Amino acid sequence: MFLKQDKKPNGRIYLSIVRGFRDPLTKKNKSKTVRSLGYLDEWETSLDDPIAHFKQLAEEMTRQEQREDDIQLSFSLSETLSVGTDEEKNIGFLALSQIYHALGIHTFFLNRQRGLRVKYPLNNILKLLVYERILRPGSKRAAYQRRDTYLESFSFAEETLYRSLQLFARYKDQLLLNLHETIRMTWGRDTSHVFYDVTNYYFHTDDDHELIRYGYSKDRKGKPIVQMGLLLDNQGLPISYQLFPGNTTDFETLLPILSDVKKKYHLPRVIVVADKGLNSGTNKAYNLIQGDGYIFSRSLRGTKASQAIKDYVLDPSGYIEKGEEFRLKSRVLPTQIRIENAQGKPVHVTIEEKHIAFYSAKYARRARHQRRAILDKAQKLIDSPSRYAKAEQYGALKYIRGMSLNKETGEIQPVDKNILPVLDEELIREEERYDGYYSIVTSELDMPDMEVIERYRGLWKIEESFRITKSQLETRPVYVRREDCIESHFLTCFLALLILRLLQRHTEYRYSPQQLVSSLKKANVCHLEQNYYKAMYYDDVLESIDEKLQLGLNQQIWTLEEIKKRIAETKKIL
């Protein structure tokens, strides 16, 4: 509070004590009268120095207000809102800010910017994109338009956001290496086992170019895609990622990313855990030549699996019971793998490999339940094929005999008008034979079978990570088309995933990413008057975050000064 001296048209000076504040809508400094004192000349008869006296009084009133918990605010019941008014602000981003800065992302880009001739703030732009990708995923334009919903300043022109994407792509590899070192030193990183998988993301375009290609789309959208290989450490924290053209097969992606990461990150021996799509002779040979190991699953259903493997898995002899609903067996056999020699010609090489087969009654029940749901869709498709789109019923179509997909029109139709489509009972019975059975191959001959299986089960971490990127972070569909912009888009998604995973770790994995994001989105404050805000939401998730990060999100009334102080505190090292 301070003393205001207002010169009136009659020449007299009117005194009042006012409180200064910054208007949250106009961003301009304003003041509100706290006490009207009257004219200066009227006080000169009773006070030697009225100005000094009332300045001291304003200072004392400020100190008194700071000592007291209670404040008095006044409201006019006749006040109305103007169009576009939005006085609700998010403070849940404080948790994201603390981890973002603990990762040193701000330092990285502030240091890079010193050597660039750009005036726009790279760190602030990236920070906004990451926050928005976590809390309200959408387009880059939407992120810019929502920048004022935070009580942190994101002051830059919209066009600079798009220009910055080129620079983010340029520094991607350096940033990922820097993040790896920070995580290793701050949180600790276990790379004795790494999890790897590939997925793809579709684009809202019918054209393709060097990176955006038509390929096998897991979303079945019939759109060009880009492949992304993602590498996680043993704790499920992202290490690195790499983009590949959409027509790249899954098993071709492992060598480039693994060799690059091992070289740049100076990783010791690692054991790669991956699904059957990565199980190839080349990948096995590469890992063995590098002194690394592998744990891969392999197919049991369909034509890809050999009859010898199927017979071994289904043969009841040799299984060891591990409880009422689980059994396993293993063998070490010389195995031939097909690789290319230095001249690029295919050759066969024999390696020693452990084969593990196991059966889980729990997995069998789950497989039957999932198949029943698909068969229900298949029957509905038989009854009324025109009602369903090909993408919605792709999985069900394989269980129908006499019905096919017209690749030109995308319509599902009978193969022969004179033959009614029916469920393929033979295929259903064949698949049911393998419900609950799994087959794993590994280079780790001395590793106990149960440990190999437990390592393989850890693949859920990467499967969940892909689900998070596609659903929670809405990574696809991708709207940008330039290669550097595509790279930057996936970089912001990678950073968002990493921050969410670290936030899970801080809260001891008690909450899913969806629960964390839901609560952080609801952690808002509403402007009351002047510089005062009222918190509007608090739950057990926010309480858990508070316990670890000490953000004080349970505080009910905030001043703008307190919020700014709290933001500044999140930028310090944990």
Q: What is the model's pLDDT at position 321?
A: 94
Per-residue model confidence as pLDDT tens digits over 531-572: 889 999 999 999 999 999 999 999 998 888 889 999 999 998
Q: Does residue 359 fall inside a structural domain?
A: yes
- Better pLDDT: 385 or 68: 385
- Better pLDDT: 413 or 43: 43
Q: Does residue 253 fall inside a structural domain?
A: no
- Better pLDDT: 288 or 86: 288
Q: What is the model's pLDDT at position 330?
A: 95
Q: State how many domains the chain has.
A: 2
What band does 220 get if pLDDT is binned at 50, 70 and 90? low
Q: What's this model's pTM, rounded to 2 decimal places? A: 0.81
| % the chain with pLDDT above 90 | 44
307, burial (CB in 10 Å: exposed 0-12, middle 13-18, buried 19+): exposed
Q: Does residue 11 have a pLDDT over 50?
A: yes
Torsion of CA 89, 95, 97, 101, to 10 degrees: 170
**Terminal Cα-to-Cα distance of the chain (whole angstroms):** 35
Q: Does residue 37 have a pLDDT over 50?
A: yes
* Summary mean pLDDT of the chain: 86
- Better pLDDT: 124 or 224: 124
Q: Does residue 33 fall inside a structural domain?
A: yes
Q: What is the model's pLDDT at position 26?
A: 62
pLDDT (average), residues 7-36: 78
Q: Does residue 553 fall inside a structural domain?
A: no
- The beta strands (E) that lie in 262-394 are given as 271-274, 293-297, 320-321, 326-340, 346-360
Q: Which domain holds residue 377?
A: 300-444
Q: What is the model's pLDDT at position 391?
A: 46
**Nearest to residue 469, comparing CAs of 514, 428, 438, 426?**
514
Q: Does residue 334 fall inside a structural domain?
A: yes
User: Which residues have CB under 8 Å from 59's CB, separation 6+?
Assistant: 1
Q: What is the model's pLDDT at position 144?
A: 94
Residue 131: how many CB atoms within 10 A of its CB?
27
How many contiguous H segments (helices) and E segments (strands) does the chain have? 20, 20
Q: Does residue 487 fall inside a structural domain?
A: no
Last residue of a domain, one of 27, 52, 67: 67
Paired tokens of 441: 């191959």
At residue 20, what are phi and psi to the nearest 5 degrees? -85, 145
Q: What is the model's pLDDT at position 74?
A: 67
What band does 360 get if pLDDT is binned at 50, 70 and 90? very high
**What is the rounded distance in angstroms from the CA atom of residue 161 to the CA atom of residue 480?**
13
pLDDT (average), residues 236-260: 90
Last residue of a domain, one of 51, 67, 83: 67
Provide the greatest CA pair distance for the chain: 112
Per-residue model confidence as pLDDT tens digits over 119-172: 899 999 999 999 999 999 888 899 999 998 998 889 999 999 999 999 999 999
Last residue of a domain, one of 67, 84, 99: 67
In which residue are the tokens 């350096």 written?
A: 174
Q: Does residue 257 fall inside a structural domain?
A: no
**Nearest to residue 126, comparing CAs of 179, 172, 168?**
168
Q: What is the model's pLDDT at position 397?
A: 82
Q: What angle do CA 116, 118, 124 make, to 5 degrees?
A: 105
Paired tokens of 338: 């097909």
Residue 2: how many CB atoms within 10 A of its CB?
16
What band does 369 get if pLDDT is binned at 50, 70 and 90? very high
Q: Does residue 74 fall inside a structural domain?
A: no
**What is the rounded distance in angstroms from the CA atom of residue 39 to the CA atom of residue 51?**
11
At residue 445, what are phi and psi to the nearest 5 degrees? -65, -30
